[in-house]
Amino acid sequence: MISFVAKSFGLKKLLFIFFLISSFAVQTQQKRIKILHADNSTIDEKKYPGATVLLGDVFIEHEGFTLRSKKAIHYKKTNIIKAYGNVVLNQGDTITQTSRYVQYNGNTKKARSWGKVVLKDPVMTLSTDTLDFDRTKQILYYKNGATIKDTTNVLVSRIGNYFLQTSKFQALSEVVLTNPDYVLKSEHLDYFTSNGHAFLHGPSTITGEDNYIYTEKGFYDTQKGISHFTKNSLIEYNNRTITADSLFYNRNESFASATKNIQMIDTLNNMFIRGNYGEFFQKLDSAFVIKRAVAITIVDKDSMYVHGDTLMVTGKPENRIIRAFNGVKIFKSDLQGKCDSIHSSQKTGITQLFKNPILWSQESQVSGDTIYLISNTKTEKLDSLKILRNAFVIQKDSAGYNQIKGRNILGKFIDNELEDINVIGNSESIMYVRNEQDSLIGIDKSTCSYINFKIKNKKIQDVTYFTEPEGDLYPPSEFPENVRKFKGFIWREDEKPLSLEDIFIDDKKPSKKTKDTSTSVKNTKTIEKLKK
Specify the pLDDT at position 508.
Answer: 60
pLDDT digits (tens, 9 = 90+) for 87-137: 999 988 888 999 999 999 999 999 999 999 999 988 889 999 999 999 999
The predicted model gives 273-298 an average pLDDT of: 91
The pLDDT-based confidence of 530 (bands split at 50, 70, 90) is very low
Output the DSSP codes for 78-93: TTEEEEEEEEEEEETT
Specify the pLDDT at position 300.
Answer: 66
- 339: exposed, middle or buried (Cβ count in 10 Å: 0-12, 13-18, 19+): buried
Contact by Cβ (8 Å): 188, 201: yes
Specify the pLDDT at position 363.
Answer: 84
Q: Is the pLDDT of residue 532 over 50?
A: no
Whole-angstrom distance, CA of residue 18 vs CA of residue 20: 5
- Residue percentage of the chain with pLDDT more than 90: 54
Q: Which long-range contacts (CB under 8 A, 24 or more apart) does 243-250 make?
A: 244/278, 247/215, 247/218, 249/213, 250/225, 250/226
Whole-angstrom distance, CA of residue 443 vs CA of residue 433: 6
Whole-angstrom distance, CA of residue 17 vs CA of residue 358: 99
Rg of the chain, C-alpha, whole Å: 41
The predicted model gives 497-502 an average pLDDT of: 90
Whole-angstrom distance, CA of residue 288 vs CA of residue 257: 10
The phi-psi region of residue 93 (left if phi > 0; otherwise alpha if psi is between -120 and 50; otherwise beta) is alpha
pLDDT digits (tens, 9 = 90+) for 322-341: 999 998 999 988 889 999 99
Nearest partner of 212 among 257, 181, 174, 189, judged by Cα = 181
Specify the pLDDT at position 54.
Answer: 95
Contact by Cβ (8 Å): 438, 431: no
Q: Is the pLDDT of residue 526 over 80?
A: no
Contact by Cβ (8 Å): 360, 339: no
Q: What is the pTM of this model?
A: 0.77
**Cα–chain-centroid distance for residue 138?**
37
DSSP state of 524: H
First to last CA, the chain: 106
Contact by Cβ (8 Å): 407, 426: yes
CB atoms within 10 A of CB 54: 24
Torsion of CA 139, 142, 147, 150, to 10 degrees: 0
The pLDDT-based confidence of 21 (bands split at 50, 70, 90) is very low
pLDDT digits (tens, 9 = 90+) for 231-267: 999 999 888 899 999 999 999 999 999 999 999 998 8
Measured in residues, the chain has a length of 532
pLDDT digits (tens, 9 = 90+) for 338-376: 999 999 888 888 999 999 999 998 788 999 999 998 888
Specify the pLDDT at position 92.
Answer: 82
Specify the pLDDT at position 509.
Answer: 58
Give the highest mean pLDDT range of 62-76, 446-460, 511-525: 62-76
The predicted model gives 194-222 an average pLDDT of: 93
Specify the pLDDT at position 13.
Answer: 52
Contact by Cβ (8 Å): 112, 132: yes
- Mean pLDDT computed over every residue of the chain: 86
Contact by Cβ (8 Å): 322, 375: no
Specify the pLDDT at position 357.
Answer: 93
Sketch out the chain's domains with CATH numbers. 33-108 (2.60.450.10), 109-335 (2.60.450.10), 357-497 (2.60.450)
Specify the pLDDT at position 379.
Answer: 74
Q: Is the pLDDT of residue 320 over 80?
A: yes
Residue 17 phi, psi (nearest 5) = -65, -40
pLDDT digits (tens, 9 = 90+) for 181-193: 999 999 999 999 8
